[in-house]
Amino acid sequence: MGTKLFQKQPIMCKVIYALLPILIYSIGAFGFRILFLTITSVASTSFFEYVFERKKKKKPISEAAIVTGMLFALILPSTIPFWIVIFGSAFGIIFAKEAFGGFGRNVFNPAMVGRTFLCQLSYCNDHGLDKTCKLLGTRIFEEFSN
């Protein structure tokens, strides 16, 4: 008998269904790139949660990883590079969810923590962290912060 990848959580399924009309509208407004950003975000949040759950308890991952990935993709600019989506979703899952013990124990929303982290990297020149920004790369949202 094989193991399940996701835990069945009826509430998370309802949240996913509630996010689908927003995703459909954003695809209509911003193009199919949003769909690919969402797929990338959901895949990366699921992957990082899977890695941590396999190390800790060897149980299926929460469907909340899908919700986090969808929320994260929908709060980002539509022209953001894919690698930044993976980087931000990894930060959100690792430091906002898994660092506190996983599903149901996180204090902050992982999608918003990932977005906040990306914004902090983006505006680090404004906060006097020029050397850190140069070490980590260029300003992430520079073209979006007009």
Query: Is 72 in contact with 89 (CB distance < 8 Å)?
Result: yes
Angstrom distances, CA of residue 117 to CA of 6, 67, 81, 92? 27, 19, 15, 8
Q: Which of 12-21, 34-43, 107-116, 137-146 has the lowest mean pLDDT?
A: 137-146
pTM of the shown model:
0.76
pLDDT at 129: 44
d(CA 35, CA 78): 10
Query: Is 101 in contact with 50 (CB distance < 8 Å)?
Result: no
Q: Tens digit of pLDDT for each residue in 5-18?
A: 667 778 888 999 99
Residue 76 reports pLDDT greater than 60 = yes
